[in-house]
Amino acid sequence: MLKLYTLAMVIAINMLQAQEITLSKNEKKFQKDGTEYKLSAYKTEFANPIAKNYIREGRSHKSISTVLGFFGGLMIGAGLPNALSKQQYTYNYNNYQRTKVSKPGWAMVAGGGVLVATAIPLAYLGKKKIRKGVETENKFGTKSQTYYQFQTDGNTLGVTVNF
């Protein structure tokens, strides 16, 4: 009975040492074999070319999304005070005419809103592709090289585990 428990424990330890890649919460780092890497290290750590392609596309989508979100927020922040400020007029005293000075405020706010609205789905798509790349790598990645050998010598039976 003790041999059976020992064999079950060895198999359980082997399953715990599987080489699975996990992403951090913010998806900027991943963990493989107990070591934490930045996401930019996927080129050297991942073996599957399909997974590498998913992660490359996801990172580019997230970068584009960050840039679009920044400039969209900048345009909204610059246009909103201009749009909400008091309307200015120019006066021509000789003809007693009053003309409005055009303000680009609401156009800048609308343009910034469009950029931000474009950035949000791109960020979501980037996260989705990065997750899919990690899942693909885990699914088809290199498996552990652990193997067992059963040895018998006369009256004894032994199990050898090689990692």
The pLDDT value given to residue 18: 52
Decide if 162 contacts 146 (C-beta within 8 A).
yes
Q: Give average pLDDT by consecutive 10-residue segment, the chain, 163 residues.
A: 69 57 77 81 84 91 96 93 77 69 84 96 94 86 65 77 68
Per residue in 51-92, pLDDT tens?
A: 889 999 999 999 999 999 999 999 999 998 888 887 776 666
